[in-house]
Amino acid sequence: MQVASVLGSLSAQHLLDVLGVVGVLLIMFAETGLLVGFFLPGDSLLFVAGYATVAHNSLHFTLSLPGLLVAAPVGAILGAQLGYELGRRAGPRLFSRSESRLFRPEYVERSGDVLRRFGYARSIVLARFVPIVRTFLNPMAGAAAVPARTFALWNVVGGLVWTIGLLLLGHAIGDVGVIRRHIELLALFVVLLSVLPLAFEVTRRARKAR
C-alpha cells in the first residue's frame, strides 16, 4: 500500500493537480538539472499537461497552455544548463576518484567518445527524449569538456523541441475518446516512444559500421 501511495503521488496527473504550471517548471528543472530528479515523469508530465489545457477534459482541472509553453521550456533549459555547469566545475574532482562506483574517470572518457561519435548536436537533442539519459548527459557533457557555447545552443534547441512538442501533442490528441479514457496508458506509451530516436540512431550507426 505504501509503495502504491508513493507511485500515485508521483503520477503525472497527481503532480499537475497539486503543483500546476509552476510545478511543471520545477519538475522540468529538477529532472534535467539535478541527478536526484532522474525518476520524475518528464515525458508523461508534458503530455498530460498538454491534455490538461483542453476545456472540459477528464482530469477535473485545467491548465493554461500559454503558461505551460513558457514554463516547461524555461525549466528544461535552465535545468540542463545547471547540470552542465555542475559537471564542468565539479566533474574533474568528482570523477577523479577511481574507487567510486558511480563516478569513475573512464565514465567521462566513454561519454566524451559517445558525444564525439554521435556529434554534439545530435547527442544533446536526442538525449532530451530518453528518460534518465536526459538527466545524466548534461553533467557528463560538462565533465567531458563539451564547448559551452555548443552545449548552450543545442540545449535550447532540444529543450524547446521536447517540451513544446509533447505539450502540443497532448493538447491536440488528448481529448480523443479512447485517449481520454486511458490517458495514463497513453502517457506511458509516449515515454516508450521517446526512446525510439536513440534506438534508431544506434541501429543506423551499427549498420554503417558494418
Which cell numbers hold the place of 208?
554503417
Query: If you average pLDDT over residues 2-14, what whole number do you get?
Result: 54
Q: How far apart are CA 69 and CA 89, in angstroms?
A: 31
Q: How far apart are CA 126 and CA 146, in angstroms?
A: 16
Percent of the chain having pLDDT more than 90? 35
Question: Is residue 28 over pLDDT 50?
Answer: yes
> What's the pLDDT band for 6 if we cut at 50, 70, 90?
very low
The residue type at 184: E
pTM over 0.85: no
> Quick one: the chain helix, strand, coil %, rounded to 5?
80, 0, 20
**pLDDT at residue 85, as a whole number:** 94
Helix (H) or strand (E) holding 17: helix 12-33
Question: Is residue 23 over pLDDT 90?
Answer: yes
> What's the pLDDT band for 156 if we cut at 50, 70, 90?
very high
> What's the pLDDT band for 1 if we cut at 50, 70, 90?
very low
| Torsion (CA) 195, 180, 29, 192 in degrees, nearest 10 | -10
Question: Is residue 146 over pLDDT 50?
Answer: yes
Question: Is residue 3 over pLDDT 70?
Answer: no
Q: Which residue has the higher pLDDT, 86 or 8?
A: 86
> What's the pLDDT band for 104 if we cut at 50, 70, 90?
low
Query: If you average pLDDT over residues 81-97, what whole number do you get?
Result: 80
Query: If you average pLDDT over residues 97-120, what whole number do you get?
Result: 65
Question: Is residue 163 over pLDDT 80?
Answer: yes
Query: If you average pLDDT over residues 93-103, what whole number do you get?
Result: 58
Average per-residue pLDDT for the chain: 79
Q: Which residue has the higher pLDDT, 57 or 107?
A: 57
